[in-house]
Amino acid sequence: MTVYYTVLDSPVGELLLTGDESGALTSLSVPGQKGGRTVQPGWRRAPERFADAEKQLAAYFAGELKEFHLEFNTEGTEFREKVWAALDAVPYGATTTYGAVAASIGASRAAVRAIGGAIGANPLLIVRPCHRVIGADGSLTGYAGGLERKQQLLSLEGVEGVLQDH
């Protein structure tokens, strides 16, 4: 299967977008991201395939877009897919907790660590809003793209009062 990609500049740094032959977005990564993608030999640079994603990301960073309407094709376990669907339901400008995500998919409180692992494995930073998940005490907790980016994204969305990780 051919992987198509493009690189975009953004207020939170360079974004690497990958897509499949159908035109669906398969990942959005940032440099230094834990588990993020990097361009591989054989990938095809094809910015034209990502025109809609580029337009929507620009509108998001300009504060003009609150919900992405893009076709995704991500692969994860059934559990991860449930967690990622729960992330998709967290509205712009709002936050949730790992415990609330667990409850929303019918998982026990004991599953919070597994929830965190699934959120950390989200291949679609920004467009699947894992940055909106914070600690139960209101703290800014882990983010594969780095806490500074997480804070930038939450500030862009008007979320105030999130405590720095301690």
Residues tagged active-site: 130
Distance of CA 121 to the CA centre of its chain: 9
How close are the terminal C-alpha atoms of the chain, in Å? 43
DSSP state of 150: H
Cβ-based neighbours of 154, under 8 Å, separated by 6 or more? 95, 131, 132, 140, 162
> CA–CA separation, 133 vs 159, rounded Å?
12
Alpha helices in 8-146 (DSSP H): 51-61, 78-88, 98-104, 112-120
Strand pairing class (15-19; 133-134): unpaired
Identify the three-state secondary structure at position 159. Answer: coil
